Amino acid sequence: MDAKQNDGPAFPHSFESADGHPSWVQSSGMSLRDWFAGQMLPHIGTGWPNLENREMLARQAYQMADAMLAARAALKATGG
């Protein structure tokens, strides 16, 4: 998945430039996709991840993150 599909950084921050205009600083840290996936981990699967289910849980978390990004894009496109 490329950076555009990751929807950029999860926590970009702004600062005011010397001329008083807001400026955005992009970070190369966690992507929004990674953030969404991490937020899903407490809600999927049962029990603590173990050798048998950790890869499945990680895949499910990223599948949900991808669905959330798709819904976000659709809402933006329709003005919702």
**Sequence spans of domains, the chain:** 30-80
Is the pTM above the cut of 0.85? no
Mean pLDDT along residues 48-74 = 88
> Residue 8 burial by CB count (10 A; 0-12/13-18/19+): exposed, middle or buried?
middle
The 10 Å CB-count burial string (b at 16+, else e) for 65-76 is bbebbeeeeeee
The reported pLDDT for the residue numbered 7 is 72
Per-residue confidence at 24, pLDDT binned at 50, 70, 90? low
* Number of CB atoms found within 10 A of residue 9's CB: 19
CB 58 within 8 A of CB 29: no
* DSSP letter assigned to residue 17: -
